[in-house]
Structure 1
Amino acid sequence: MKIMVLNPSSVKVENVIRDALYGCWCKGKRIGGAKTPPYPLLLLTTLLRQEGHDVTMLDAPAQHLTVLDLTKMMAGFQAVVVNSSVMTFCEDAEVLKMLKTGADSLKTVLMGAAPTFMPELCLKHEGIDIIVRREPEFVLRDLFNRLDFGDGRWREVLGIGYKNNGSFIVNDFYPFIENLDQLPFVDWSLLPKNADYFNPVIKRYPYVTDLTTRGCPGRCTFCMSPPFSGYKVRGRSAQNVLEGFRKFVREGYKEVYLRDEMFTALKARNSQILSTMIKEKMDLTWVCSAKIGTLTRNDMRLMRDAGCHYIKFGVESGDQGILDNIKKGITVDQIKQTFKWAHESGIETHAHIMIGNPGESKGTIERTIAFLKEINPTTATFGILTPYPGTPLFEKVAEKYPQIKKEFSIDLASLHSDSFFTDTLCELSAEELAYYEKALHRWFYWRPVYLLRWLMRIRSLSDLRRVIRAGTRILDFSVRGD
C-alpha cells in the first residue's frame, strides 16, 4: 500500500511535542520552545517499509507544511496515519477530514491516546475511518498487510475500531509486545533535511531520541501511561540497546534523549549497558527520565560516567499529603535524597510540578515553593493538572461532569494552562490556578541567584545560544503565557 505517516501542524500552538506513543504530552514556551523528532512515527514508518509498503513520513511542523499543502500531496495515497492525543484530537480529526475531501478512497487511521480511551467518540467524526488502540506497530503492520488483500479480513485485526453500516465496531486489544527486540532500529534518514529540532536539554548536536522500555507499574491517579502501555515494565535487551547506541555513533549522532518513563527500573540490564558504554568509551552523551525511588547514589555515578548529564523527575508536589492523594508512591524524603545524590554526582535535574491536585491549597503551593528551594533542581516546569481519559481522576471528575465523556473538552490552547473541571479536586479557583502557574515560573526563573548560576554554567558559544533561546521563551511565558 501507499501510506502517508503524518505529524500534522497545529494552528493554535507553535511547538507541539508528539514523541510519545500516546501522542502529544506538552507544548509551547513553557518548555523553552523545545521540539523533538516524532519517534513513534519514525519507528512505524521503518517497520511498514520493512513489510514492503510504500511509506512516506511527513513532519508538517518541521517542514512548514500547511493543511492546504498536505491536501495537494495526497494524490495516490491509499491511507494516512496520525498519532493523536486527547488534546490534539479535534484539530487532527479536522485535518483528516480535509485530506479525505480531495481523496475519496483514502483510509484515515488514528492511533494514540484519543482512540485508545475514547474509541467511539473518535469514530463519530466523519474524518476518521479506522482507529488503533494502545501500541500501534504490530496492529498497523497486520492492518495494512490485510488491507492489501482487499477482501475484508482487515476487520479481524485486534486493536482496531471501525465503522460498519452506521455502527461502531471496536475489537479487543492487541497483546502487548513482550519482546521489544522484535521492533526495528529507527531509520533516522527519514527525517526532513535541515529540520530544526531544538531542545534546551540537549547539549550536543545532532541528537536522536530513543525508547528502551515500555510500561509502568505506577498507580498515579493522573497518568494515562500505565493503562496505555501496561503496568509491567518491558525492556529491550542490553545487547539490543547497545547495538542501537553503536549505530547512533556510527551515523554521527552525539547525544540521545531517552524517552522512557521507566528507564531506570531495569537495574541489571542498565548496569550492563552503562558498564559497556564506559568500557568502549562510547562518544555518546544522554538524557533520561527516572522515577523517584528507582536510583541510588552509585546508580547515578555510573550513569554520569557513562555519559548521562540530565535527569527529569516527576516531583509533582512538595507536600506529602498531595503526593499521597495522587498515589504517587513516593515520599518527600525520597525526593530530597534523590536530588542530593544527583547534585553530588554532577548530573543536572528537572522537576515536573503540577498544581490543582486533589487537596491543593495556597498552603500546599507555598510548601512546594519552599521544597523546590531545598532540592534545587536545574530546571522546572509548572502546569495545571489535567484529568485525562483512562485515569482515575478523569472518572472522578466525570461523576460531577458526565459531559466530559461525551466530547473532547481539552485542546492545545488550554493544555496545562487552564483549569479543567478542577473545582471537583481542590479549593483553588480556575483564576487562582492560572495566576499561580505563571507566578511559579516567574519565582523560579527570575531569581537573581538562579540567573547567576546559569551564567556560571555557560562553557561555550553553543551553551550561550541554547540558554538565550530557551530562557527568553520561558520568561515570556511567565509573563504572557502561551
Structure 2
Amino acid sequence: MPSIFLISSNTNVEPYPIYPIGMSVIAKALQDAGHKVIQYDMLASGNNLDHLKKSIIAANPDYAGISIRNIDNVDSFTSHTNQYIHKVRQIVKVVKGLRIKVIAGGAGFSLLPEEILEYIGADYGIVGEGELKMVRLISQLENGDEVPAIFKPEEGIQGENIPLPLWSEELLKFYIAESGVVNVQTKRGCENHCSYCTYPFLEGHQMRVRPPENIADEIEILYAQGADNLFFTDSVFNDRNGHYLLVAEEIIRRKLNIKWCAFFQPHKIENSELKLLKQSGLKAMEVGTDATTDTTMKALHKGFTFDDVVDFNEKCIAQKIPCAHFVIFGGPDETIKTVNEGISNMNSLRNCVVFPFSGIRLHKGTPLFTRAVKEGLISPDHPLIDPVYYFSPLLDKDEMNTALLTGFKKRRDRLFPPDEGQQRINIIKRFGFRGILWDQLIKFDQPEK
C-alpha cells in the first residue's frame, strides 16, 4: 500500500494555536484503508521549509496531502496581500521538487478550489469532507485511472460514521503546552441560512450528529493524553434539536472532569439548560451574534433579534458564564444610523466581551456575494484569492470605521480593531494564562469599567 505524507500548513497562532484536527481525521481514514500515514505540522515543526524537505525525504512517501485551514485572517484593517496562501505555495513547491504528487484540501481550500489549485500548483484538490474522497483518489491513482483535478462536494458522512481523528501524541503535547486547548467536533452541517456563510456549502444544511457516547469516548482518549480543556468546533453547538444537551448529559454521566467552550447562537435558552451545560464543564461561550441591530440582523438572515441577544447574555451572566459576542459592521442595509445604534447596543451588553469586525469577507456561492453582484459592488468573475470585503453602499466605510474606533476605544472588553484586541490577548498570554484567554477580561464579582 502507498504511504501518504500529510501536511498541516496552518501557522497562525491568533487567537491561539489550534490542533490540526482536519489532517488527523484524514489520517485516520487513510490508516483504516491500510495506508501508512505520516502527520507533519508546519507550526509544531518550526515553520521551516528545509526541515519539511528533510522530513519528506526521510519518509519517502508516495503522495503528499496538504491541509489548508485559512486563506486569510478576515480582517479588513490589515494588508490584503494573502500571505497565508503564498506560504502554501512555497510548501507545494518543496514537495513537487521531490517529484511527489500533491493533493490539497481543507476548509480554506474548499472556499476557492479552482483559484487556489491553480495558484499553489497542487496536482489535485478535494472540496468539502475529504475522508472518503481521499481514500478513493489514492486508490484510483494507484490503479492508473483518469481522475478529475478537483473532487467536488458529495453527500456528507452520517454522524455515526464520522471517524475519530488519528490523534498524534506528539502534536497533542505541543498544542496542550502552547494553547492548552484541543478541538473536538460533535456534529457536521449547519441548519442556519446566514447570507455570508460558507458552512452550508461545505457541510450542508442537515446537521449530522455524532452519538454522544462516541464523543465521550473521544474525550476520554484526549483526557488520558493530558487534554482537559476542549473547544467544540461545530458550526453551532446549541442546535435546535438539543443534541448538545445530550452531549453534556453524557459528559456528566461519565464524570469527565473537563472544561470546554463552543460556538453558540443567541437563541432562546433555558436557565436549566445553562445549569446543565455548566455542570458538564462549560467554561465560556463564543456567540455568533453577527449583527448589532434588528435591521442588520434581518439583512444577514439571522433568526433572532437584539432583544434575544440581551436575554441570552443576561441569562449567561446569571450563571456566571463568560460570553464573547462576534459582530460585523458594514453588512447589508447598514447605514451610519445603524452603526451608531449598533455601537450603543453592544456597549449596553453587560459583563461580556465583544469582537467587532469591519466589513464581510465575500465568498462565491453565498447569498451575500449574489447581492454584491446585483448592487454592482463586484463582478461575478472577480478573483477572490486576495480578500474582497462587502461594505454596504448606504454608508461611507471610513466614517463607519471612525465611529467604531471612537465608540469602543474606552472599553477594555471591546476588542477593536482586531489586531489591537489580539495585542491585549497576547498580554494575557504572557502572564501564563492558557486557553481562549478573552474570558480573563470578565470579572463577574467586580463592577464594570
Fold shared per TM-score above 0.5: yes
Task: Output the amino acid matched with 2:200.
Answer: P
Size of the aligned set, in residue pairs, is 410
Give 3-state SS (helix, strand or coil) of 1:80's partner: strand
Task: Name the CA distance, whole Å, in 2 between partners of 1:134 and 1:469.
Answer: 27
Distance 1:321 1:92, change over 3 A: same
Paired position in structure 1 for 2:418: none
Paired position in structure 2 for 1:301: 275
Distance 1:73 1:213, change over 3 A: same
Give 3-state SS (helix, strand or coil) of 2:261's partner: strand
Paired position in structure 2 for 1:136: 130
Task: Name the CA distance, whole Å, in 2 between partners of 1:108 and 1:77.
Answer: 11
Q: Is the 8 A contact 2:175 2:182 kept in 1?
A: no
Q: Is the 8 A contact 1:397 1:421 kept in 2?
A: no
* Structure 1 position 390 matched with structure 2 position 358: no
Task: Output the amino acid matched with 1:94.
Answer: R
Distance 1:232 1:436, change over 3 A: farther
Task: Output the amino acid matched with 2:145.
Answer: G
Q: CA deviation at 1:381?
A: 1.4
Q: Which moved more, 1:77-86 or 1:353-362?
A: 77-86
Paired position in structure 1 for 2:56: 74
Paired position in structure 1 for 2:394: 427
Aligned ranges 1:284-363 → 2 under 5 Å: 284-293=258-267, 295-363=269-337
Distance 1:322 1:198, change over 3 A: farther
Task: Name the CA distance, whole Å, in 2 between partners of 1:429 and 1:78.
Answer: 53
Aligned ranges 1:164-179 → 2 under 5 Å: 170=150, 173-179=153-159
TM-score normalised over the length of structure 1: 0.76
Paired position in structure 2 for 1:24: none
Give 3-state SS (helix, strand or coil) of 2:102's partner: strand
Aligned ranges 1:166-315 → 2 under 5 Å: 170=150, 173-191=153-171, 193-195=173-175, 198-199=178-179, 205=180, 207-265=181-239, 267-293=241-267, 295-315=269-289
Give 3-state SS (helix, strand or coil) of 1:62's partner: coil
Task: Output the amino acid matched with 1:178.
Answer: Q
The share of aligned pairs that are identical, in percent, is 16
Paired position in structure 1 for 2:76: none
Task: Name the CA distance, whole Å, in 2 between partners of 1:338 and 1:247.
Answer: 33
1:62-117 Cα deviation digits (max 9, x unpaired): 3212234323433223222223344367325522441245212x111111345534
1:419-439 Cα deviation digits (max 9, x unpaired): x3535x233444345545655
Q: Which moved more, 1:209-218 or 1:293-302?
A: 293-302
Task: Output the amino acid matched with 1:109.
Answer: I
Give 3-state SS (helix, strand or coil) of 1:314's partner: strand
TM-score normalised over the length of structure 2: 0.81
Alpha-carbon RMSD across the aligned residues, in angstroms, is 3.1
Q: Which runs of 5+ in 2 are unaligned?
A: 73-81, 415-427, 442-449
Q: CA deviation at 1:268?
A: 4.5
Q: Is the 8 A contact 1:35 1:197 kept in 2?
A: no
Give 3-state SS (helix, strand or coil) of 1:63's partner: coil
Distance 1:357 1:112, change over 3 A: same
Paired position in structure 2 for 1:108: 102
Q: CA deviation at 1:41?
A: 1.1
Distance 1:64 1:428, change over 3 A: farther
Q: Which moved more, 1:238-247 or 1:372-381?
A: 372-381
Task: Name the CA distance, whole Å, in 2 between partners of 1:66 and 1:373.
Answer: 43
Distance 1:262 1:126, change over 3 A: closer
Q: Is the 8 A contact 1:9 1:65 kept in 2?
A: no
Q: Which moved more, 1:106-115 or 1:83-92?
A: 83-92
Q: Which moved more, 1:231-240 or 1:120-129?
A: 120-129
Task: Output the amino acid matched with 1:305.
Answer: Q
Q: Which runs of 5+ in 1 are unaligned?
A: 17-27, 156-160, 163-169, 200-204, 412-419, 448-460, 475-482
Q: Which runs of 4+ in 1 moved over 6 A?
A: none
Q: Which moved more, 1:258-267 or 1:313-322?
A: 258-267
Q: Aligned match of 1:150 in 129, 143, 158?
A: 143
Q: Is the 8 A contact 2:125 2:151 kept in 1?
A: no
Q: Aligned match of 1:119 in 113, 117, 120?
A: 113
Distance 1:172 1:97, change over 3 A: closer
Aligned ranges 1:39-58 → 2 under 5 Å: 39-58=21-40
Task: Output the amino acid matched with 1:410.
Answer: D
Task: Name the CA distance, whole Å, in 2 between partners of 1:324 and 1:375.
Answer: 20
Task: Output the amino acid matched with 1:6.
Answer: I
Task: Name the CA distance, whole Å, in 1 between partners of 2:218 and 2:176.
Answer: 23
Distance 1:358 1:189, change over 3 A: same
Task: Output the amino acid matched with 2:383.
Answer: E
Q: CA deviation at 1:333?
A: 1.2
Task: Name the CA distance, whole Å, in 2 between partners of 1:333 and 1:265.
Answer: 20
Paired position in structure 1 for 2:86: 91
Task: Output the amino acid matched with 2:140.
Answer: R
Task: Output the amino acid matched with 2:182.
Answer: V
1:232-267 Cα deviation digits (max 9, x unpaired): 111101211122222233333212111112221165
1:267-299 Cα deviation digits (max 9, x unpaired): 554333323333443211111111121632221
1:201-236 Cα deviation digits (max 9, x unpaired): xxxx4x421000111111111111111110111110
Task: Output the amino acid matched with 1:150.
Answer: N
Aligned ranges 1:447-466 → 2 under 5 Å: 465-466=432-433
Task: Name the CA distance, whole Å, in 2 between partners of 1:462 and 1:72.
Answer: 33
